[in-house]
Amino acid sequence: RGAEMGEARPPLHKVVILATRPNTLTLSLCPVVVGAVLEAKQARSVEIAPALCFWLFACLIQIGTNLHNDYADFVKGADTKDRLGQARATQKGWLTARQTAGGSAAALVAATALGCGLARRAGCGRFMTFVT
């Protein structure tokens, strides 16, 4: 479906970056900042490494969600050539539906692994509540 759009496919690394919708990743920072500020207020300090890990955790969830949305919209036929907004990699034919779904699953599995590690880390329980 996407191949007939006539648009040249960018290099794979650019396609992957575009598919993750990097402009939405700043939204994943907001709950991390709120959690870090509240933790700093309670504990009088914040460890930077766990805060960065929480941001990566939140980014992976956002990426997985963005890719799944791209996949689901393509499969349902919601993304057409008349669609307004940012390019969708699957609709454009730059990625197959299987590649997009696989990327989504990989990001969410990585988020789960990182989240489990963070949940086991002493002192991260309160912080995790604000991120999720």
How far apart (Å, rounded) are the C-alpha atoms in residues 132 and 130? Answer: 6
pTM listed for this prediction:
0.79
Contact predicate 60/114, CB 8 Å: yes
36 contact partners, CB below 8 Å, separation of at least 6: 46, 51, 54, 127
Supply the pLDDT for residue 41: 84
Question: What is the rounded average pLDDT of the residues 10-29?
Answer: 88
Q: Output phi, psi for 77, to 5 deg.
A: 85, 15
pLDDT single digits (tens) 20-31: 988 888 888 888
